[in-house]
Amino acid sequence: MATRIVRAACPHDCPDTCALLVTVEDGRAIKVAGDPEHPGTQGVLCTKVSRYTERTYHPDRLLTPLRRVGKKGEGRFEPISWDEALDEIAGRLSSIAARNPEAIVPYSYAGTMGLVQGESMAARFFHKLGASLLDRTICASAGATALRHTYGASVGMDMEQVVDAKLIIIWGSNPITSNLHFWTRAQEAKRRGATLVAIDPYRSLTAEKCHRHIAPMPGTDAALALAMMHVLIRDDLIDHDYVARHTVGFDALRERAMQFSPETAARICGIPVDDIEWLAGLYGKLAVRERQPVAIRLNYGMQRVHGGGQAVRAVACLPSLVGAWREAAGGLLLSTSGFFPVDNAALQRPDLLPGWPNLPRTINMSTIGDALLDDGTTGNGPKIEAVVVYNSNPVAVAPESGKVAAGFGRDDLFTVVLEHFRTDTADYADIVLPATTQLEHVDVHKAYGHTYFLANNQAVEPLGQALPNTEIFRRLAARMGFTEPCFADSDEAIASQAVLRDDKRAAGISWDSLKARGWQKLNIAKAPFAEGGFPSASGKCEFYSETMAREGLDPVPAYVPPYEAPSSAPELFARYPLAMISPPARNFLNSTFVNVDSLRATEGEPHLDIHPLDAAARGIANGAQVRAFNDRGSMQARARVTDRARQGLVVGLSIWWKKLAPDGKNANELTSQRLTDLGRAPVFYDCLVEVEPVPAEALAS
């Protein structure tokens, strides 16, 4: 019996990006565990990835190319050979490209976060083809844009240092579910005397374990942050030296903050005034008067509303006001991805575009429903004739799902899907291509929750006829007659191009060193902004953004009301008086792992949490089947009557595959395709609904 341990990395859309040790026995992976030597992972994995072998060896794995034989959406296919599949795809794409290559659209996101299996060979292929570009906005672009306008890039504090913080504000985040290794450090800080505060409309698993929970209505976080600034300025809880030397625009910020008294913000947010006074006072006194480290762990939930970008701007200004960046355990963490020196030009080769540096049109992935239903006469470019989906499941995850399904259901749309399983999107494909899982290919990973590059070494041979994304696009490129040398690059060669070797942050890091060691930390100071040095144009934290002013945007953090709220849409609110959010379920990651039986069994069935007063007003009993609905669509779920959902709010944990839901629908039937104020991102949590019991006769039928 031959047993070996392979160093690998978790590929999923999670800030932890864990280092893995894969045990391989006689060519089969039998165990996936965390690397105890990796400071981030510390030998512990989430319940999802610890069962990764169940996913790789799942009986429903796609192991051969398939051609559709039924109607779109039915999921009826026949096996075909790779030659047949590639010939058909190349023929169809070539004929479309001859008319207008912008009629071809790639659709991908973070099904893998790898730099090799993500946007390397795939990007080269679509750039050479001249296909439409994809604006990858569906998760983080509002927050990323906000950080760029505030700090200059997606940068923040070092997660490993937070154990020494004396106050940790967990804002719009449920790290027990979505950031496990931050949570273990927050718990350690708690044991050392830190105060933990959760700001979340929903009393999540994390909020239940914090000292205090503040529950603003969705979309009101900017008002809360501005009111905190109001108190800090009013009570002179400001680090004047840090503000003077390392920030821009304090006077403008002060003027804006003075418009948001705690009383004003309390009305907007639906929270007690005392909560605001207490939190701001504690934050300022610890940081300014006592010189203690205070940390904010911000996550992406709070930016999924109309004013999400400005809300992130507002929260991101707080640490600089009180000089929290002076301490390694202080500051703010939303993303660290901007620290990583990645050579995207080498990986993706935008110079292959036919008109470079002129660009083809861009399709926003968050409005793919409308884009697919556009007939080409609206001035937005040609009608979409082909979509190639990889690393994503848009029929399940994109907003306003009814339109997304209708778009993918067009008989005149040619759809190719690279997948591991027959997802909701795969059911609409003309051709399905079997892709490898993380254990079956090579990759390089950066992170957005820590500062380690990681290597993913191939642990086992691909199952069946599955191929890595890179190899699929390599073979398609050959079929299309692309002769540039970059299309012959091996995965190892691509991996060796990923890191900007001349960047001092990557000193001593190469693909050879990474794959041998498994992971390497960037060369970054423990307190990177203790003396300013932000990667902005000014080198400072920009309370006032000249860039935003030039673009016609409000240059100072502002409160932008939700699209769907009593104040901004009173007529809509009269019909749909409940706000709905759909945060991730603990045992799923976006739509990944939903079909792993053991995890779905743990999660149970789709639930909708509703406050007892809201339930009583609608005659809804705990455990009843209910229907949540608005003008865009509806979904069914099992009601959980609980005060974990504040009054006026319902919470439907996501994202279920529609085919595994009781009514074939999920929360995205209800969400809209409207976009955020910054970053053109979706507003998943800016959503009004009504909820009603499902009649017994409807259940019986």
We report the CATH number of the domain holding residue 533 as 3.40.228.10
Query: Distance (Å, rounded) from C-alpha 48 to C-alpha 55?
Result: 10
Residue 11 in domain = no
Whether residue 328 sits in one domain with residue 347: no
- Domain of 682, CATH number, reads 2.40.40.20
Whether residue 217 sits in one domain with residue 267: yes
Residue 446 in domain = no
Query: Distance (Å, rounded) from C-alpha 580 to C-alpha 672?
Result: 12
Question: In sequence order, what E strands does 481-632 have?
Answer: 519-521, 541-542, 578-581, 607-610, 625-630
Q: Which of 64, 171, 55, 41 is nearest to 591 (CA)?
A: 55
Whether residue 166 sits in one domain with residue 237: yes
Query: Distance (Å, rounded) from C-alpha 568 to C-alpha 566?
Result: 6
Look up the pTM and report it.
0.96
Whether residue 351 sits in one domain with residue 206: no
Query: Distance (Å, rounded) from C-alpha 368 to C-alpha 241?
Result: 48
Q: Are 341 and 506 in contact (CB under 8 A)?
A: yes
Whether residue 478 sits in one domain with residue 329: no
Name the β-bridge partners of 394: none
CB contact set of 641 (below 8 Å; sequence gap of 6+):
610, 611, 612, 615, 620, 621, 622
Whether residue 390 sits in one domain with residue 268: no
pLDDT means per 10 residues, the chain with 701 residues, are: 93 94 96 95 90 93 97 96 98 98 97 96 98 97 98 97 98 92 97 98 96 98 98 98 98 98 98 98 98 97 96 98 98 98 98 95 98 95 98 95 98 97 96 98 97 98 98 98 98 98 95 97 97 97 98 98 96 98 72 65 82 98 97 96 97 78 88 98 98 80 50
Starting at the edge strand that comes first in sequence, how are the strands of the sheet with 431-434 ordered? 77-79, 66-68, 431-434, 414-419, 386-390, 104-108
3-class SS letters over 408-434: HCCCCCEEEEEECCCCCCHHHCCEEEE
Q: In which domain, by residue range, is 251 found?
A: 157-334+529-551
Residue 374 in domain = yes
Query: Distance (Å, rounded) from C-alpha 153 to C-alpha 528?
Result: 13
Query: Distance (Å, rounded) from C-alpha 616 to C-alpha 82?
Result: 57
Whether residue 354 sits in one domain with residue 253: no
- Domain of 399, CATH number, reads 3.40.50.740
Element (H, E) at 572: helix 570-575
Structure tokens at 88: 């058909």
CB contact set of 676 (below 8 Å; sequence gap of 6+):
141, 142, 303, 304, 305, 306, 307, 308, 309, 682, 683
Residue 116 in domain = yes
Residue 646 in domain = yes
Structure tokens at 230: 């109001």
Whether residue 350 sits in one domain with residue 321: no
- For 653, counting Cβ atoms within 10 Å of its Cβ (0-12 exposed, 13-18 middle, 19+ buried), the class is buried
Asked which of 483, 518, 551 is the last residue of a domain, the reply is 551
Measuring CA to CA, how many Å separate 533 from each of 152, 169, 234, 537? 10, 24, 28, 10
Whether residue 240 sits in one domain with residue 280: yes
What is the total count of domains within the chain?
3
Query: Distance (Å, rounded) from C-alpha 44 to C-alpha 266?
Result: 40
Whether residue 218 sits in one domain with residue 287: yes
Whether residue 250 sits in one domain with residue 174: yes
Residue 675 in domain = yes
Residue 513 in domain = no
Query: Distance (Å, rounded) from C-alpha 150 to C-alpha 365?
Result: 25
Bridging pattern class, strands 541-542 and 294-298:
unpaired
Whether residue 668 sits in one domain with residue 594: yes
Residue 583 in domain = yes
